[in-house]
Amino acid sequence: MSTIAIVGAGPGMGLAIARTFGRRGFDVALIARDKGRLDALAEQLGGEGITAEGFAADVLDRPSLAAALGAAKARFGSVDVLEYSPAPHSPVPGFTQAAPSEVTVENLQPQIEYYLYGAVEAIRAVLPAMREAGAGTLLFSSGGGSVDPIPMLGNVNAAAAALRNWALNLNKELTGSGVHAAHVAIGVWIGEGGPEGFPTATAEQIAPLYWDLHEARDRAEAVFTG
């Protein structure tokens, strides 16, 4: 049995990705801050015949993230696919949006911690075993602004672009190892209630892209624009 660990799991993309892999035989480790919400998602997936369990961690608390991934490996035996979705599902203290000319070290640093440092810690927790096994998939998500930046998200896009650059470079390093890394840039508003004129899509429409990247292993990036 294979296992996917979803860091930043929530009721939108996280749940859709969990279903996409779970329906293909994967066990699912759900990782986010709120254990109660994770347990509810795991119960929902269980009702659909998917084995899932929640592990509480905060990507800004790197030891807690490493511990959660360690607990997931202990529970399921391995982490064969890691999906890292750092977009906050609720307000995070100290996080603000800033236009490029308004970016400061103070409003950029938390974004870097969230997008890049959390991903680095997550990979350190799972990559050694994947290298040893000669198999594994590492998937990273960000908004479309990591590729085509949006002025109102100057600090957010800069941090997401750092994650994207690192993920693409990681895939180059892993060539020939059996481990594949890929970045997904989501250039749409997920669900309803987005800005007027901005393209929208459901999480269920986007999630199959992650399975395609895992299965085909023929590209290091996919940009979803609807």
Between 192 and 84, where is the model more confident? Answer: 84
Mean pLDDT of the chain: 93
Q: What is the CATH number of the domain that holds 67?
A: 3.40.50.720
In angstroms, the Cα distances linking 78 to 123, 156, 206, 225 are 14, 32, 26, 33
* Per-residue confidence (pLDDT) for residue 193, from 0 to 100: 67
What does the DSSP assignment read for 164-192?
Answer: HHHHHHHHHHTTTTTEEEEEEEE-SEESS
Whether 168 and 141 have beta carbons less than 8 Å apart is answered as: no
* Per-residue confidence (pLDDT) for residue 87, from 0 to 100: 66
Domains held by the chain: number = 1
Query: pLDDT of 69-124, one tens digit each?
Result: 999 999 999 999 999 997 654 456 668 899 999 999 999 999 999 999 999 999 99
Range of the domain at 157: 3-224
